[in-house]
Structure 1
Amino acid sequence: MPSVPRGPAGLMILANLVNAVGTGLYQTVSALYLTRSVGLSAAELGLGISLGAAAAVVAGTPLGHLADRRGPRNLLVVTFLVQCAGSVCLTLVDSFPLFLAVSVLTGVSLAGTRGAQGALIAQLVPADERVRIRAVMRQTANVGLAVGAMVAGLGLVADSRPWYVGMILGDAATFALAALTTMRIPAVAPASRPHTGPRLAALRDRPFLTFTVLDGLMSMHFYMLELALPLWIAGATNAPRWVVSVLFCINTVCVLLLQVKATKGTETPAGGARAARRAGLVIGLACVLFAAAGGRSTWLAVALLALGALAHVAGELWQSAAGWSISFGLAPAHAHGEYQATYSTGLSLSRIFAPPLITVLVVGWGAPGWLLLGVLFAAVGLLISPVVRWALRTRGADAEPVAEARA
C-alpha cells in the first residue's frame, strides 16, 4: 500500500475509504435484502438499478456544473448526506415504487458525488499528482470494500431482516462519517468561469463525449468478473466453483499492490491514450483465455482462468489510469466538476447496458461470445488514441497546462 498524503488530499482519501466500507456492506447484502426481505422480484431489482443509473446519466453533468459554480466541497458534503438519507429510506421500502424512488435519488446523488470529488481533486491537487491521488483512492477503496464485505458476511450468515437492516444502516452511517470528514477539507472557491462560451460545455465537446462513450464501453469488462465469469465457470468449464473466489482475490490483491505503479507514464492525455490501447488489447486477450477454458480438463481450465484473470486485471489497472489522465487533462480549468461528472456517465451507461449484453454473449453464445467481446475491447482501446489526438487539437487556451504540453 502506498503512503497516504496529509492535508486535504489525505482527508479526501479517508472520506473515500469510509464510504467504500459502506459500499462493501451494501453491495454484499442489498440483493438478498431486497428480494428475500422486501419481496422484490429479480426483474424489479434489475429494473430499479438500471433506472437509477439512467438518472445518474441525466443528472451528472448539471451537478458537475453546479460543483464548479458553487464550490465542490459543499456539494460533496450534500451528496454524501443525501445518500445517507437514501440508505435510511431503503430500510423503510416495502414496494417496487418506493424502491425505484430511492434508487433514482441515490443514483442522482452518486452522480453529484463523482463530479464534486473530481472537481475537488482538480482544485486542491497539483496537475501532475492527480492521477496518482486517484490511484491511491482506488487502492484504499478496495481495502474498504473488502472490510465492508467481511462485516456484511455476518448478515448473510444470520439471513434475517434485522441483520440486513443493520448492515444498510451501517452503510448510512459511513455516508454521514464521510460527510463529516469532507467538512474538514478547506472550502474551495467556485471556479472562475469565462464570460463567453456555452453552459454545460462538456455536452458540446464532441471529442470528450466520444471518449466518454468509448471508456464506458471499455468499462463493461468489470461485469465480466462480477457476472459473466461465475456463470461461465459454473456452466461451461470443469473448474471447481471455488475458483470464482480465487479470481476475485487475484483482482483485489493486484489492485492493492499495483494500481499506483500502473499510473506511470499516464501523466498526460497522450500517455493515458497509450495506456488505454494496452488495456484494450490485454482485456481482449483475457477474453480469449476465458473462452479457451471451456471444456478443458479441470487443472488446465483453472490455469487458463487464472492467466485470464491476470490479463484482465492488468487491463483494468491501465484503463483506470488512462481514464483519470484523459478526463483531467482534457478538462478546461474552470469546468473540472462538469467534465468529471460527464466522464462518470460512461460508467453509468455501462451499468445499464453491460449486464444484459455480456450475459447474452457469454451464456447464450459461449466461446464465440467471449471472442466477440475480446475483439470489441481491443477495438475500443485502439480507437481511444485517435479520439484523444482529436480532442487535443480542439483544446483552447483554457485547457490544462498538462494537456497543452502534449498538444
Structure 2
Amino acid sequence: MTSTAPAADQAAPLPPAPNRVRGRFARLLPADPVLRRLTAITLVNTVGNGLGMTLGVVYFTRVMGFGVGAVGLVLTLAGACGVAAGVPAGRLSDRYGPKPVLVALLALQALSAAAYVLVDALAAFAVLACLVAVADRGSSAVRGALFAEVLPVDGRVTGRAYLRSVTNIGLSVGTLGAAAVLQLDTRGAYLTAMLVDAASYGVIAVLYALLVPVAPRTAAQAARAASGPNPALRDRVFLAVTGLNAVITLQFVMIEVGLPLWVVRDTDAPRWMVAGGLLVNTALVIVLQVRATRGTEQPRAAALVFRRGALLVAASCLVLGLAAGLPGWAAALLVAAGVACQALGEVYSQAGAWALSYDLARDEAHGAYQGVFNTGMSGALMLGPALMTSVVIAHGLLGWALLAALFAAAGWGMTALVRR
C-alpha cells in the first residue's frame, strides 16, 4: 500500500506569498502593543510633516504671494514663539497629564495649519504661523512626557529610537509626495497637500486620545506638580545637560543648511550630492538608530554613548571641510564619507541624550524636564542657520574646524558633567 504521508525529508509547503509578506512585516513591528500604536501614529504624523516641511515655504511664496523676506521674518518670529512654548507646555502636562494636553495642542495645530488656505493677509499669516509653532514645539515636549508614562522604564529609549526610525521613513514618504506636488506645480495641488498635512494632525489627535489610558492625576499629584517653581529650571546639572545637548542639536542645521550651501557654493562635487547625502543620512538613521541605544541603561554609560556620537559628528565636520578645492569625484567621496560619519554620530548622540533626559529627571515631573530639554533643542534649531552661514560657510575649512571643536567639547563636557 502506498503511503500518502509526505516523506520525512520532504520540505513542508511554503505558505502563500501574501502571508509570507505579512509575516515578515509583522516581525519588523515591536512586540509592545502600545509601541505599535505609537508607530502608526508617528507614521501618519511624519508623512504629513514631510509634505509640510518640503512645501511650506513654496506655498507661502508662490500660492499665498508673500515675499521671501516677509516669509523669512514671519518664520523667525514663529520659531521664537515655538522656543517659548516648550517649558509651559511641559509644566501643563505635569499638572493635567500629558495625553489631554497633547491632544489639545494637536487639535490647535490642525486648525491653524488648515487655516493657511483661507488667509491672504500677512498679519493673519503671522498669527497662524506662531500658533502652529507653539503647538508643534509644545507637543514635542509633551510627547516626551507621554512616552515616559506609557512605555516601560527600561524601554523608553529603545522605544524612542524605534519611533525615530519610523519618523525617517514617514518623512521620506512625505517628501516623495511633495516632489510630485512640485512637479505638478498647480494651486490645487499645493492646497491639497497643505490640507493633507493639517488633517494628519487631526488624525493623530484622535489616535492619541484613543491610546491606552494613562492613570489620571490624583488631586495630590496635580497639586504637587503645580506648586512651587519649575524643578527642571532649578536643576543645574540638568540645565547643563540641556545646554550640551543643544550644542549637538546643531548637527541637524549642519546637514540641512550647511551641507547644501557648502556643496553648491564651495566644492566641485555634483549638486545632486545634496539630495544624495540626505538620503544616506536618512537610510543610516532608519537602520542603526535602535542598535545605537545599547549600553545607555545608566547615566554614565549614556554619557559615553553621547560623547561617541559627538566626536563622530566633529569628525564629519573636518571631512566635509576638506572637500573644498578637490576634483569633483574626490569632493563627492568626501561629502559622502562626511554625511555617513555624521549619521553615525547622530544615532549615538540622540540615544545618549534621550537616556539622560529621562534618567536625570524626577519621576513626577517628566513634563517639566522634557519641556526644558526640548526648549534647548528648539533654541539651537532657531539660531543654527545664522551660525552656519556667518561662521561655518563664511570661513571655509576654519569654520568647519571651529564647529568640530564645538561638537567635541560638548561630547567631552557631557561625560565630565555626568561623572560628577
1:187 counterpart SS class: coil
1:131 alignment partner in structure 2:
157
Asked if residue 214 in structure 1 is aligned to residue 229 in structure 2, the reply is: no
Give the superposition deviation at 1:299.
1.4
Equivalent residue number for residue 312 of structure 2: 282
Q: 1:22 aligns with which of 48, 52, 73?
A: 48
Q: Kindly provide the amino acid, as one letter, of the partner of residue 276 in structure 2.
A: V
Partner of 1:9: 35
Task: Measure, in 2, the Cα distance between the counterparts of 1:210 and 1:35.
Answer: 40
CA shift at 1:275, angstroms?
A: 1.4
2:169 is aligned to: 143
Letter in 1 for 2:54: T
Which residue identity does 1:214 align to in structure 2?
A: L
Counterpart position of 2:282: 252
Give the CA deviation at 1:352. 1.3
Distance 1:177 1:27, change over 3 A: same
Distance 1:199 1:122 in 2: 21
Distance, in Å, in 1 between the alignment partners of 2:119 and 2:294 is: 46
Runs of at least 4 residues off by over 6 Å: none
Q: How does 1:88-127 map to 2 (within 5 A)?
A: 88-127=114-153
Structure 1 CA distance for aligned equivalents of residues 224 and 108 of structure 2: 32
Where does residue 345 of structure 2 map in the other structure? 315
1:329 and 2:386 are equivalent in the alignment: no
Q: When the two structures are superposed, what TM-score results if normalisation uses the length of structure 1?
A: 0.92
**1:56, distance to aligned residue in structure 2 (A):** 2.2
1:401 alignment partner in structure 2: none
What is the rounded CA distance, in whole Å, between the counterparts of 1:167 and 1:87 in structure 2? Answer: 11
SS in 1 for 2:289: helix
The 8 Å contact of residues 161 and 293 in structure 2, kept in 1 or not, is answered as yes
Give me the whole-angstrom Cα distance separating, in 1, the residues matched to 2:409 and 2:278.
26
**1:271 Cα shift?**
1.8
Q: Look up the match of 1:45.
A: 71
The one-letter code of the counterpart of 1:258 is: L
Match of 2:92 in 1: 66
**Alpha-carbon distance in 2 for matches of 1:320, 1:124:** 20
Deviations 1:14-72 (A, max 9, x none): 21221101100101111111112222232322222222222222221121111122111
Alpha-carbon shift at residue 140 of structure 1 (Å): 0.6
Alignment-derived partner of residue 378 in structure 1: 408
More off after superposition, 44-53 vs 254-263: 44-53
Taking a change above 3 Å as real, the CA distance of residues 318 and 194 of structure 1, as seen in their structure-2 partners, is: farther
Distance 2:33 2:404 in 1: 42
- 1:194–1:69: structure 2 CA closer, same or farther, 3 Å change rule? closer
Q: Which moves more between the two structures, 117-126 or 322-331? A: 117-126
**Is 2:107 the counterpart of 1:77?**
no
Is contact 2:29–2:36 with CA below 8 Å preserved after alignment? no
What SS does structure 2 have at the residue aligned with 1:335? helix
Which residue of 218, 234, 250 maps to 1:204? 234
Distance 1:375 1:28 in 2: 31
Whether contact under 8 Å (2:91, 2:230) holds in the other structure is yes
User: Contact 2:50 / 2:178 at 8 angstroms: preserved in 1?
Assistant: yes
Note the C-alpha offset of 1:194: 7.8
Q: Is the 8 A contact 1:327 1:339 kept in 2?
A: yes
Aligned length: 390
Q: Which moved more, 1:293-302 or 1:85-94?
A: 85-94
Question: Deviation per CA, 1:46-103, whole angstroms, max 9, x where unpaired?
Answer: 2222222222222211211111221111111111111101111111232332222112
Confirm or deny: 8 A CA contact 2:79 2:133 kept in the other structure: yes
Aligned to 2:254: 224
Compared CA separation, residues 5 and 112, structure 1 to 2 (3 A): farther
| Runs of 5+ unmatched residues, structure 1 | 391-407
1:281-317 Cα offsets, whole Å, 9 max, x none, are: 1111101101111010121111111111111001111
* Matched AA of 1:60: G
Amino acid corresponding to residue 175 of structure 2 in structure 1 = A
Q: Deviations over 1:142-195 (max 9, x none)?
A: 111111111112210122222111101000111111112112213322273685
Written as runs of structure 1 = structure 2, the 5 A alignment for 1:229-240 is 229-240=259-270
Structure 2 gap segments, 5+ residues each: 1-26
- Provide the C-alpha distance between the structure 2 equivalents of 1:42 and 1:350, rounded to a whole number of angstroms: 23
Segment drifting more, 268-277 vs 124-133: 268-277
* Contact 1:232–1:362 (CA under 8 A) maintained in structure 2: no
SS in 1 for 2:364: coil
- Give the counterpart letter for 1:381 in structure 2: G
CA distance in 2, matches of 1:309, 1:266: 24
- Root mean square deviation of aligned Cα: 1.7
